[in-house]
Amino acid sequence: MAAGRRAPPEPGGGPVLLQGVFGVGPSPGAASCSLVLTARELQVRRPGGSSGGSAGPDAALRLADCVSSAAFPAAAAAACFSLVCYPFRGPRWGSPARQRLERTFRVYGGPDAEGNLRIAQAWSRRIRELSVPAVPVQDGDSYGVLPRPCRALVLLNPQSGAGRALEDFQAVVQPMLAEADVAATVFVTERPHHAHEKVRDEDLSQWDTLVVMSGDGLLYEVVNGLMERPDWEEAMKKPLCILPGGSGNALAASINYYAGNDHVAKKKLLTNCTFILCKGLHTQMDLVSLSTASGKRLFSFLGFGWGFISDVDIDSEKYRWLGNARFTLGTLQCLAKLRVYQGRLSYLPLVPTAQGTPRDPPEPVTNGHIPLPAGTGAPGSLPPDSLLVPLGQPVPAHWTVVPEEEFVTVYAIYQSHLGTNLLMAPAARLRDGCIHLFYLKAGISRTALLRIFLAMARGAHLDLNCPYLCYVPVQAFRLEPRAAAGIMTVDGEALACEPVQGQVHGRLCRIVCGS
Ligand SMILES: Nc1ncnc2c1ncn2[C@@H]1O[C@H](COP(=O)(O)OP(=O)(O)OP(=O)(O)O)[C@@H](O)[C@H]1O
């Protein structure tokens, strides 16, 4: 029997819960093996196997990799139990990725067919129970596990990325979900805003999870559709899940990274993320509430940007068919016509710094709009932005105002990845209560800028100690452009250029995650 991992397993895995001798595979007459089930793994020992009588098994299937187990009758009064695992398999070159591995064992030593089936069912049931992910002990309250069977509404944008989301869903995702007892109902979006309307008006009690198979833009619609509901507080308890179908797939790459997995892209990333959904662990995620001078209130899970990065994101939309490579082409094009954006950036540091000491507040930049503070705190109303004052007023005196007023880009990110291949905030986590604010001051050369983006692939851009690149963890920020110049983006979607401020709201929604 092939191992669920490459090296021979160590003895152990905890006390023995079940053991027995079974046939290998479903066919009568095949070799037999002895199986030991512990809380962590299914160990396989073959007569005369490589363990040579030592305490160690010949192979072990980690239950943390297992997504399903079933029992069924077999020929000649026997029965079988099988399990499906997705262990990491490393190619000779490149990152290891999860690959399907199914193993079946034949039960033939019982008194009769019924007895054999009962034994197979007992093993299968125990394997399923032990395969449920353990809730992390630290901060255990914030975790949950999706029920089995699980009812998932899958919102899928067939136009996202290179336009293969539906095909990839059918080829990769659907078979994995079916095995893991996740019943997927697919809602194919027909136009922008369709997913927003769907979740805003949906009876959510029908679903255990809302899955988005698309880029980050569709999840942004879903989050904001849910926040528009009168019962938004209840609606936001519904676990969300992202499966990468777009070109950037920043949240999917971040969740893969938080799970401790190696960097992967395309179908490998999709398999990793689908595996995470099959396991069903979910936890809380921060959202950032953004208010604009024209009175919009938006909820964002990924990031807000202005200048170079947003230009690349939106200008490269026309190269969507290239998939993730669209960003490389877009970066080169925007580098060629590098622009400077004028405005004032202010922030409330996460940890007070010397710069954060009280000072005279600056004059507000309003572009003619003076909205009221967002959220009143009344029952059922949206969460109030308690750290913000109206955009028409100066930022509070304990905020920091960046002295420079010319930028190449400003980017406030709350996840680790800006795109599949861009590890912008390696320290970010789903609920760290932090906005990771980056800005690039004007004056940086094209070469230095390119070097930063190349280093970002490894998350090493801050190690370059580039004097133009600034990073500060904050709780809130305000950006006041001098003129409506340049593109702003929220979660990769374009926004009119105007004064914007935002603050983090800790643990406002739930997301399916790997750890
Ligand atoms: N059927 C559709 N046709 C056209 N646009 C759609 C459709 N369904 C959704 N959209 C819109 O497409 C936009 C982009 O979607 P999404 O972000 O999910 O994909 P993407 O841009 O390819 O991915 P990424 O953000 O990773 O680059 C969203 O604004 C969404 O509203």
**Residues 510, 234 contacting (CB under 8 angstroms):** no
Helix axes of 194-201 and 216-227: crossing angle, nearest 10 degrees:
40
CA–centroid distance, residue 464 to ligand 1 (Å): 34
Q: pLDDT tens digits, the chain, 515 residues: what are they?
A: 333 333 444 456 789 999 999 999 999 988 999 999 999 999 999 876 655 455 567 899 999 999 999 999 999 999 999 999 999 997 777 888 899 999 999 999 888 999 999 999 999 999 999 999 998 877 767 999 999 999 999 999 999 988 999 999 999 999 999 999 999 999 999 999 999 999 999 999 999 999 999 999 999 999 999 999 999 999 999 999 999 999 889 999 999 999 999 999 999 999 999 999 999 999 999 999 999 999 999 999 999 999 999 988 888 888 877 877 788 888 888 888 899 999 999 999 997 555 444 444 455 444 444 444 455 556 669 999 999 999 999 999 999 999 999 999 999 999 999 999 999 999 999 999 999 999 999 999 999 999 999 999 999 999 999 999 999 999 999 999 999 888 899 999 999 999 999 999 999 999 999 98
- Rounded to an integer, what distance in angstroms lies between the CA atom of residue 354 and that of residue 59? 57
Which residues lie below 8 Å from residue 144, measured CB to CB, with a gap of 6+? 135, 239, 281, 282, 283, 510
In the chain the domains, ranked by start, together with CATH numbers, are 18-131 (2.30.29.30), 140-287 (3.40.50.10330), 289-379+388-504 (2.60.200.40)
pLDDT of residue 5: 36
Cα-Cα end-to-end distance for the chain: 29
pLDDT of residue 369: 43
**Cβ–ligand 1 contact at 218 (below 6 Å):** yes
What is the number of the ligand 1 atom nearest to the C-alpha of 196?
Answer: 31
pLDDT of residue 361: 44
CA–centroid distance, residue 494 to ligand 1 (Å): 12
Half-sphere exposure of 287 (CA within 13 A, CB side): 23
Using most ligand atoms within 8 A of CB, pick from 154, 155, 156, 157 the residue to mutate for ligand 1: 157
Spell out the long-range contacts of 362-367 with Cβ–Cβ below 8 A and sequence spacing 24 or more: 362/394, 362/395, 362/401, 363/394, 364/391, 364/392, 364/393, 364/394, 364/480, 365/480, 365/481, 365/482, 365/499, 366/293, 366/391, 366/392, 366/480, 366/499, 367/293, 367/480, 367/481, 367/484, 367/498, 367/499
Nearest CA to ligand 1 atom 15: 217
- Measured CA distances, 135 to 40, 56, 152, 272, 275 (Å): 14, 28, 21, 19, 16
Residue 313 dihedral angles phi and psi, to the nearest 5°: -55, -50
Which residues lie below 8 Å from residue 359, measured CB to CB, with a gap of 6+? 397, 401
- Rounded to an integer, what distance in angstroms lies between the CA atom of residue 266 and that of residue 253? 10
Question: Which pTM does this prediction carry?
Answer: 0.92
> Catalytic positions, please?
216
Nearest CA to ligand 1 atom 12: 192
**Residues 417, 423 contacting (CB under 8 angstroms):** yes
pLDDT of residue 475: 98
Q: What pLDDT, in 10s, does the model give residues 288-343? A: 999 999 999 999 999 999 999 998 888 888 887 787 778 888 888 888 889 999 99
**Residues 13, 40 contacting (CB under 8 angstroms):** yes
Nearest CA to ligand 1 atom 18: 215
Tokens 């993730």 belong to 324
pLDDT of residue 370: 40
**Cβ–ligand 1 contact at 215 (below 6 Å):** yes
